[in-house]
Amino acid sequence: MSKDFFDKHRKSLAAAAEACKDRSYFSLFPETPDRHRGGESAALSGQSAFEQMRGHPFALEQPGTIGRIGGEVSPYTQAALDIHYPQADPDALFEFAHKAMPRWVDADPETRLGVCLEIVDRLYDRVFESAQAVMHTAGQSALMSYAGSGTNALDRGVEALVYAQAAMANVTREAVWERRFGSATLRLQKRYRLVPRGVAVVFTCATFPTWNAYPAMFANLATGNPVIVKPHPTAILPMAIAVRVAREVIADAGFDPNLVALCLDTLETPLGKVLVKHPHTSIVDFTGSARFGSWVEANAWPALCYSETSGVNTVVVESVGDLDAVVKSLATTMSLFSAQMCTSPQNIYVPASGIRSSAGRVSAEEFGERLATAMRSIATDARRAAPILAAIQSPSTLALIESIREAGAHSGRVLLESAPYEHPQFPRARTGSPLLIHLTADDTMRHLYGEERFGPIGFVIETPDAEAALAHATADAKRAGAITAFLYSEDEAYIARAELGFSHSGAQLTTNLTGPMPLNFAAAYSDYHVTGLNPAGNATLTDVAFVAARFRITQSRRPVSG
Residues in contact with a copy of itself by the rule CB under 8 A: 21-25, 31, 166-167, 170-172, 175-182, 184, 186, 188, 190-193, 195, 197, 297-298, 301-302, 495, 499, 502-504, 506-517, 523, 526-528, 531-533, 540, 543-545, 548-549, 552-559
Which parts of 261-381 fold into alpha helices (H)?
Answer: 272-276, 290-299, 323-335, 364-379
User: Quick one: which of 328, 336, 393, 384 has its CA closest to 520?
Assistant: 336
Choice between 267 and 493, CB closer to a copy of itself: 493
CB of 196 to a copy of itself, least distance (A): 10
Choice between 419 and 545, CB closer to a copy of itself: 545
Choice between 26 and 50, CB closer to a copy of itself: 26
- Cα(400)–Cα(457) distance, rounded to whole angstroms? 9
CB of 143 to a copy of itself, least distance (A): 12
CB of 545 to a copy of itself, least distance (A): 4
CB of 192 to a copy of itself, least distance (A): 7
CB of 187 to a copy of itself, least distance (A): 10
Rounded to a whole number of angstroms, the distance between the first and last alpha carbons of the chain is 37
Cα→Cα distances 560→176, 178, 183, 185, 194, Å:
8, 10, 18, 11, 22
- Cα(329)–Cα(523) distance, rounded to whole angstroms? 18
User: Quick one: which of 200, 183, 180 has its CA closest to 93?
Assistant: 200
CB of 175 to a copy of itself, least distance (A): 4
CB of 182 to a copy of itself, least distance (A): 6
- Cα(195)–Cα(208) distance, rounded to whole angstroms? 31
Secondary structure (3-state) at 492: helix
Choice between 160 and 262, CB closer to a copy of itself: 160
What is the DSSP track for 161-197? HHHHHHHHHTS-SEEEEEEEETTEEEEEEEEEEEEE-
- What DSSP state is assigned to residue 454? -
How many residues in total does the chain contain? Answer: 562
Secondary structure (3-state) at 99: helix
C-beta of residue 492 within 8 angstroms of C-beta of residue 502: no
- 486 forms beta bridges with 315, 510
Choice between 347 and 508, CB closer to a copy of itself: 508
User: Quick one: which of 328, 89, 122 has its CA closest to 214?
Assistant: 122
CB of 281 to a copy of itself, least distance (A): 15
C-beta of residue 93 within 8 angstroms of C-beta of residue 62: yes
Choice between 132 and 314, CB closer to a copy of itself: 314
